[in-house]
Amino acid sequence: MSPKTHELWNARFINRIIDAMADGVFTMDDQGRISSWNPAMERISGYAAEEALGKTCQILQCSRCFGKNCPTSIAHCRILEIGQSEAKECLLRHKDGHDVPVIKNASVVKDDAGHFIGIVETVTDMTELNRARERAEAAALRLAEVHQMNNIIGRSHAMQQVFSAIRMAAASEATVLILGESGTGKELVAGAIHFNSDRHEGPMITVNCSALSENLLESELFGHVRGAFTGANRDRMGRFEEASGGTIFLDEIGELSPFIQVKLLRVLQEREIERVGDSRKRKIDIRIITATHKDLYRRVREGHFREDLYYRLKVFPVHLPPLRERREDIPLLVDHFIQRMNRKTGKKVARISHEALRIFMDHPGRGMCVSWKTPSSMLSCCATASRSKPRTCPSKSVSPLRQRLAARQRRQVPPKADR
């Protein structure tokens, strides 16, 4: 094959390749006039080759050209200075008037002597990919609904069992005892049971039994009449009465004194109360949910908690696993806290980096859900880009985690052999 025939064959072969490409390809001469326009460009832009040839690239009305509007002359185009542009997402205006999302790239072409002879640009249509992204995001939202109940988040098997227990408890009027370590979300579970039950239109009253002394707690729960004790200048309704038609949540139930335990047992049995200083019985219509981080059965054996009250409370137990036993839920929780901070701060942190997430996953803490709220929120606040990284935050915030991770990595690296 002669060199001339070989050159002709190569030109035909290259033209055939360009015409068969799914990406749009067009070239411009040294005056900035379009000199070639492949079929993919016709499909992406809506302009036939006959309409585009001889025009400038302004026909595409690109929304982004080196961060500026497209110049009126090729002499002012920065591609001549840089030689090649980075691939970037932008919008092209279709002939019909709608915008087409694309990835555009451009490169200067020079002859053997180094003289500028033209520009070649490639255009990738992102329409289908963006639709796929939208479908993926919609699927993620549906998945989030499966992995979320009210404000409780989890995809682990343990949390799916908790969700099932919440649904069953909400469908009944049974007294519920929520068991779990501090910070595992016992109050959230109580709220989910209430708001998914037939009593959701009634009040949800929360009382921390460990925050008040015996006398104050008795008055807080049962109320009092005027003159019942020094300072009781008027009748006061207690929390049990305030919860009528709804739910009362008694947190830290293991801290109750023996006297309050006896009075609570009567409430559970008779569904009636007596205000402090009053002998009149008052009927109440309430749902009782209790919670504790202590081992109540052990306290029963030690004589600190009434056995009959224990079994009255434990009609429907719900066990909450600590986070260390469901580490697969950590990415969901971190994302939830970051998105919540995005709404508060107006930032658009999409996610944290894999390095930061690994630090969270390797954290050997107690596994309390609330312990992740502060560092996750801090990552969101400190981030200035769409992805949060550990180095964007104050060193004290993540240094203990990073130190543990570094120590773990050092242990995994075998020592070098002596030469």
418 inside domain: no
Same domain, 185 and 264: yes
> What pLDDT was estimated at residue 404?
53
Residues in the chain: 419
User: What are all long-range contacts of 323-329, with beta carbons under 8 Å and residues at least 24 apart?
Assistant: 323/184, 323/367, 323/368, 323/369, 323/371, 323/372, 324/364, 324/365, 324/366, 324/367, 325/158, 325/367, 326/154, 326/156, 326/158, 326/159, 327/361, 328/155, 328/156, 329/153, 329/154, 329/155, 329/156, 329/159
Name 168's Cβ contacts closer than 8 Å, sequence gap at least 6.
Answer: 316
Task: Count structural domains, the chain.
Answer: 3
Residue type, 141: L
pLDDT digits (tens, 9 = 90+) for 82-97: 777 777 788 889 999 9
> Residue 369 in contact with residue 183, Cβ under 8 Å?
yes
Whether 343 and 368 share a structural domain: yes
Residue 118 lies in a domain: yes
This model's pTM is above 0.85: no
301: pLDDT strictly greater than 50? yes
Does residue 35 lie within any of the structural domains?
Answer: yes
Strands 351-352 and 387-388: parallel
Question: Do 87 and 175 reside in the same domain of the chain?
Answer: no
pLDDT in tens, 366-416: 545 555 555 555 455 444 445 555 544 444 444 555 555 455 555 544 544
pLDDT at 272: 93
The amino acid sitting at 27 is: T
Give the pLDDT confidence score for residue 184 in this predicted structure.
87
Same domain, 307 and 331: no
> For strand 281-283 and strand 272-274, is the pairing parallel, antiparallel, or unpaired?
antiparallel
pLDDT for res 320: 93
Which amino acid belongs to residue 334? V
Q: Indicate if 316 and 177 belong to the same structural domain.
A: yes
Band of residue 264 on the pLDDT scale cut at 50, 70, 90: very high
Structural domain boundaries enclosing 385: 324-405
Q: pLDDT band at residue 147, thresholds of 50, 70 and 90?
A: low
Strands 152-153, 148-149: pairing is: antiparallel
Alpha carbon of 171 to those of 198, 254, 264: distances in Å? 8, 26, 24
Mean pLDDT value across residues 353-365: 70
Q: Average model confidence (pLDDT) for the chain?
A: 80
Q: Which of 292, 321, 350 is the last residue of a domain?
A: 321
CATH (domain of 218) = 3.40.50.300
Last residue of one domain, picked from the residues 90, 108, 130? 130
| Burial of 68 (C-beta count, 10 Å sphere; 0-12/13-18/19+) | exposed
Over residues 236-240, mean pLDDT:
93
pLDDT of 188:
92
Verify that 212 and 225 share a domain, yes or no: yes
Q: Which helix (H) or strand (E) holds 412?
A: helix 395-412
Strand partners, 396: none
Are 167 and 353 in contact, with CB atoms under 8 Å apart? Answer: no
Q: Which of 233, 236, 338, 249 is nearest to 289 (CA)?
A: 249
Residues 375, 294 within the same domain: no
Lowest mean pLDDT among 128-132, 292-296, 389-393: 389-393
Predicted local distance difference test score (pLDDT) of residue 80: 76
Cβ neighbours of residue 275 under 8 Å, at least 6 residues apart? 222, 223, 224, 225, 228, 235, 236, 238, 282
CA neighbor of 124 nearest in space, from 38, 29, 11 = 38
Residue scoring higher pLDDT (8 or 216): 216
CATH number of the domain within which 32 lies: 3.30.450.20
CA–CA dist 271, 269 (Å, integer): 6
Find where tokens 């025939």 sit.
5
- Answer yes or no: do 208 and 102 share one domain: no
User: Which residues partner with 148 through β-bridges?
Assistant: 153
416 assigned to some structural domain: no
Q: Distance between CA 360 and CA 363 in Å, rounded?
A: 5
| DSSP states of 352-376 | E-HHHHHHHHT--S---GGGGHHHH
Tokens of 404: 């543990």
Tokens of 250: 């008694």
d(CA 71, CA 93): 16
Looking at the domain assignment, is residue 287 inside a domain? yes
Q: How confident is the model at residue 417 (pLDDT cuts 50, 70, 90)?
A: very low
Residue pointed to by tokens 């001889």:
54
* Structural contact between residues 322 and 180, judged by C-beta atoms closer than 8 angstroms: yes
Residue 168 sits in the same domain as residue 281: yes
291: helix, strand or coil: strand
Strands 247-251 and 287-292: parallel
pLDDT in tens, 157-195: 888 899 999 999 999 999 999 999 988 889 999 999 999
The reply to whether 316 and 353 lie within a common domain is: no
Q: How far is CA 371 from the centre of its chain?
A: 16
∠ CA 45-80-126, rounded to 5°: 30
- Tell me the DSSP string of 137-158: HHHHHHHHHHTEETTEE--SHH
Q: Is the Cβ–Cβ distance between 291 and 253 less than 8 Å? A: yes
CB atoms within 10 A of CB 71: 17
On whether both 172 and 126 belong to a single domain, the answer is no
Environment class of 397 (CB within 10 Å of its CB; exposed 0-12, middle 13-18, buried 19+): middle
The per-residue pLDDT for 183 is 85
Asked if residue 287 has pLDDT above 60, the reply is yes
Q: Which residue has the higher pLDDT, 8 or 207?
A: 207
The answer on 181 and 292 residing in a single domain is: yes
